[in-house]
Amino acid sequence: MNQLFVKLKEAECDVEGALARFLDDEELYEQFYGELLNDEAFGKLGLALEERRITDAFEYAHTLKGIIGNMGLTPLFETVCEIVEPLRVGSMDGVLVKYYELLKQREYFSQFIQ
């Protein structure tokens, strides 16, 4: 198992489940991992939140939730869920704080591939 997967396991990610969804194709997983961390949905989510476009913010957050969940990135998944659920009911309570936490986590996970 390469260093990325070792670090992900140490970060309490569901590496085995994610690899199963990727048919044990570690190279494909790594490709998607890099793409996810650079996904424009993170920035679009932030802009939608700043502009208080709750419906748009929900769509971006929900998209990220699905991708992050399939990739088994448990800490990121838990945080993005805390963004999605208030937005689902039209609330922004605490969402910006969680968004900034998500960005910090993304930066932390980006270090795994440098």
Q: Per residue of the chain (114 residues), give pLDDT as tens.
A: 689 999 999 999 999 999 999 999 999 999 999 999 999 999 999 999 999 999 999 999 999 999 999 999 999 999 999 999 999 999 999 999 999 999 999 999 999 986
Confidence (pLDDT) at 1: 61
Confidence (pLDDT) at 113: 86
Give the amino acid at 41.
A
The C-alpha angle 49, 51, 102, rounded to 5 degrees, equals 20
Confidence (pLDDT) at 114: 65
Q: State the Cα–Cα distance between residues 68 and 88, nearest whole angstrom.
A: 18
Q: Which helix (H) or strand (E) holds 107?
A: helix 95-110
* Among the listed residues 54, 51, 57, the one whose alpha carbon sits nearest the alpha carbon of residue 91: 54
Confidence (pLDDT) at 50: 96
Confidence (pLDDT) at 47: 98
The owner of tokens 């869920």 is: 81
